[in-house]
A and B are shown apart, each in its own frame.
Chain A
Amino acid sequence: MTLADLDRGKRAIVLGYSDVVEPSTARRLFDLGLAPGVEVTMIRRAPLGDPVIFGVGDYEIALRGVQARCITAKPAD
C-alpha cells in the first residue's frame, strides 16, 4: 500500500519510496521527516479531495495524492 490508500484517522509506517520517484524528491521527502520507519497518520482530506494532511512524527504536512502514492507504507497496528 501507499500513503494515498490511508483512510482518515488511520496510521501507517513508511517503508520507502516507489521506483518512479526522482532522487531529489526522495531526498526531500526524507528531509521532511517522511523517512522509512516513521509513523504517519492521515488527518484529513481537503474539501475538494486533494491534498491530504498527514501527521508526521510531531507535525502536520499537506501532500497531494501524486506524492502520497510515491510513499510505500504498511498499516501500523
Chain B
Amino acid sequence: MGHAHHGGGGSTTANIGLKRFAVVGSPNSGKTTLFNALTGLHAKTGNYPGVTVARFEGRTRVDDRDTVVVEDLPGAYSLDPISPDEQIVVDVLDTDQHRANHRSVGLGVPDALLVLLNATTLRRSLGLIAQVHQTGLPICVVLTFTDDLARRRGRLDIAALTRALGVPVVPVVAGHRDGVADLRQVMAESDSWSTPVVAPPTDPAEVTAWIESVLASCDYQVPEVDHRTRRIDAVMLHPVIGTAIFAVTMFLFFQTIFTVAAPLQGYVEAGFGWLGDLVAARVHIPWLSGFLSQAVIGGVGSVLVFLPQIVLLFVLIALLEGTGYLARAAFLMDRVMARAGLEGRAFVALLSSVACAIPGIMATRSLPSAKDRLATMMGAPLMTCSARLPVYILLVSILLPAGSRIGPFSGRGVVMFALYLMGAVSAMLVAAVFKKLSSRGGPVLPFYMEMPPYQVPRLKNVAAEVWTAVSAFLRKVTSIIMTATVVLWVLLNLPLRGDAEMTAAGVDTGSETAVAAYVIDHSYAASVGKAVEPVFAPLGFDWRINIGILSSLAAREVFVATLGQVAAAENPEEPAAALTEMRVQDGPQAGRLLFDAPTIAALLVFFMYALQCMSTVGVMRRESGSWKWPAIAFGYMFVLAWVLALAARTVVAALW
C-alpha cells in the first residue's frame, strides 16, 4: 500500500545483502529506546508477512565502512509464545523454519541478535536469554537500566556477567551516546562474538539453578524497592485520590486536544485560505482554478486542518506511555473492562482509538488473548476518532449557534462530549457482545501486566512515535483523501454543460454561481446521489448528503470536503452560510431546511456508527488475517448506523 511512493526507501527488500541484527527483549527492557538510538528517526515501518504485527527496521553504521540493518522485534517475556507478538519473535528466530519454508526473504533471517537484559529485573530476564540461546544465533547482551540499578542500590559485576554468560555484554544506559558507540564497535565484529562453552539448560528446574549460579557469580545484589515509584503509586493508585487523578487526567487529555489545538487549527486554516486566494488571483483558466482551489486546496486543506489535533493527541499518548502512567490507567480500568469481558490493556487500545482506530487496532497486539483482540478490534472503530471530529464540528456548528449554553457550559461542547461518551459506551457494549459470542470454549489465558517504574519520558521516543503517526496521517491525506476529493470534483463538475442548454433551462449564464449550481445539480455525482436516495431518504438525507456519505466511505473527513465543494459552488463567498440555508430541492419535503435538527441528529448518529474508513478496514484485514472480520464489522456498523440514525431522527423530530 503506497509504499513505493512514500516509504522513503522502498520496501524491506532493499536491505538484502546487509548484515541483519534483531533486537530481542521483554517489554519494558528499553528495546525501543535502544532501537531509536541506533537508527535515529530513519526507521521504516511495515508489517510481517501474513499476520502483520508492526515491523520496525532501520539502518545504522557500525564503523566507517559497514552499514547494518537493525530490526526491532516485538517485546516477549518468553519464547513459548502466547500472543501474536511473541509468535512473531519465535518465527523470526526459528532458523529451521526459515530453511524449511523458504520464508527467509520475507522475514529476513537475522545474522545476529542483540538481547536486552534489564539490570533491574535480571532474574526474570535471564530466563529469556536461556531460551534465546537455543536458536543457535550469535548473541550480544545489551545491559540496560544500570543507572536505575545503581540508584536503587543494586550491584552487578559486568565483567563477571560476561564470563558467566560466555557472550559479549555491553551496558547501554537509556541510549546514551557512549554506550551506543561501544555497542556499534561490538556489532562491527559480530563474526568473532564469543559463544558459551556449554549452552544454558532449558528444563525449568535446571533453568532456575542456572539463573541462580549466574546471579551468584556476577555478585548480583537485588535492587532495593523503587521508593520513587512506590511513593508515586501510593498517590496515583490510591482508591480515592488515584481515581480522581485518573478522571482529571482523562478530562485534561480531551481539553488539551480541543482547546490547545483550536488556535493552531486557525493558523492552518488561514494558511490554506491564503493559498486559495492566491490561486484565484493568479490562475485565470476557470476550470483549473476551480480544480486547484476546490479539489486540491479545499479538499485536502479541510482535512489538514486537523493536523495540530492529531499531533497533540499522539504527543499526549506518547507522554502517558513514556512516563509509565498508561500501565497504571490500564490497572485502574481493568475491573471496569472486565465487565465487558476484556482486560485493562483493552482500555489503552480504546483510548488510542480516540486518536484513530488504526493505532487502536494495532495496540490490541499487546492483548495475549486472540478473542480479546477480536472483540476489542470490533469495538475500537466506534470510539470517536479524529476523522469524525471535522464532521461533528461542522454539523454541531450548524445545529447550535456559537453562543448557545446548556447550563454553565457551552452548548456545542456539551453535545461534543455526549458524542464522545456515546461512542465510548457503544464501543464497550459491542466489544462485550463479541467477546460473549466468541468465548464459548477454549482456554482462558492468564492476565498479567508488568508495572514499569515511573520514568521521565525520552524526547526521542516521543518524537519517533509522533512522527510515525503523523507521517501515516499525511500519507492518508496525500493518497486516499486526495484521490477521493479529486474524483469527487470531477464527478461534481461533469458532464460539461453548454450555454445553450443552460439558457434553455432558464439559468442566467452570466452568473458564475448560478452556472456552478446548475452543473452540480446535473452532474454525475448528482445522479449517483439520487440513485441511492431510497436507502437514505428515511433518514432525511438528500442527494447532496448522500454524495458526502458515499465519498466518506474512503475516509470520514471527505464528507466535510464534499459538502465544502457543494456549498462553495452555491455561495463561493460564504460556503458555511450556504450550508445552513440549503433547502431540500424536490420530493414531498421540498423547501424544508436540509440541515434541520432531525437530519443533523441522524447524520451525527450515522457517523458515530458507520465504518466509513477504508484504512480501518485494511488494518482490520491485516490484523485479523482475513476479510471475514472487516466484513462483519462493516455490516454490523452500517445496520447499526442506519437504524439508530432513524431512531435519532424520529426522537429529535418529536422533541425539537
- Do B233 and A44 touch across chains, with their CB atoms under 8 A apart? yes
Which residue of B124, B238, B338, B343 is within 8 Å of A57 (Cβ)?
Answer: B124
Query: 1/0 per residue A43-63: CB within 8 Å of B?
Result: 110111111010111111111
- Do A31 and B331 touch across chains, with their CB atoms under 8 A apart? no
Say if the beta carbon of B445 comes within 8 Å of chain A. yes
Chain B contacts for A30, CB-based, 8 A: 127, 204
Say if the beta carbon of A77 comes within 8 Å of chain B. no
- Do B443 and A46 touch across chains, with their CB atoms under 8 A apart? no
Chain A contacts for B336, CB-based, 8 A: 48
- Do B80 and A27 touch across chains, with their CB atoms under 8 A apart? yes
Main DSSP-derived SS at the A contact region: mixed
Query: 1/0 per residue A1-25: CB within 8 Å of B?
Result: 0000000000000000000001011
- Do B233 and A59 touch across chains, with their CB atoms under 8 A apart? no
Chain A contacts for B77, CB-based, 8 A: 28, 31-32
- Do B335 and A61 touch across chains, with their CB atoms under 8 A apart? no
Shortest beta-carbon distance from B326 to chain A in Å: 13
Chain A contacts for B343, CB-based, 8 A: 64
Q: How large is the interface on B (under 10, 10 to 19, 20 to 34, 35 or more residues)?
A: 35 or more
Q: How many pairs of A and B residues are in contact by the CB < 8 Å rule?
A: 117
Which residue of B121, B128, B208, B239 is within 8 Å of A59 (Cβ)?
Answer: B121
Say if the beta carbon of A75 comes within 8 Å of chain B. no
Say if the beta carbon of B237 comes within 8 Å of chain A. yes
Query: 1/0 per residue B552-590: CB within 8 Å of A?
Result: 000000000000000000000000000000000000000
- Do B449 and A31 touch across chains, with their CB atoms under 8 A apart? no
- CB contact under 8 A between A58 and B448, given known A27-B78, A35-B204: no
- Do B124 and A33 touch across chains, with their CB atoms under 8 A apart? yes
Closest residue on chain B to residue A48 by CB atoms: B335
Chain B contacts for A57, CB-based, 8 A: 121, 123-124, 222
Which residue of A35, A46, A60 is within 8 Å of B208 (Cβ)?
Answer: A35
- Do A29 and B78 touch across chains, with their CB atoms under 8 A apart? no
- CB contact under 8 A between A32 and B124, given known A53-B451, A61-B448, A64-B334: yes
Closest residue on chain B to residue A37 by CB atoms: B208
Closest residue on chain B to residue A49 by CB atoms: B335
Shortest beta-carbon distance from A21 to chain B in Å: 9
Chain B contacts for A27, CB-based, 8 A: 78, 80, 204
- CB contact under 8 A between A50 and B445, given known A33-B124, A44-B233: no
Q: List 9 A-B contacts (CB under 8 A).
A: A24-B82, A25-B445, A29-B448, A37-B208, A48-B332, A51-B447, A58-B222, A63-B448, A66-B447
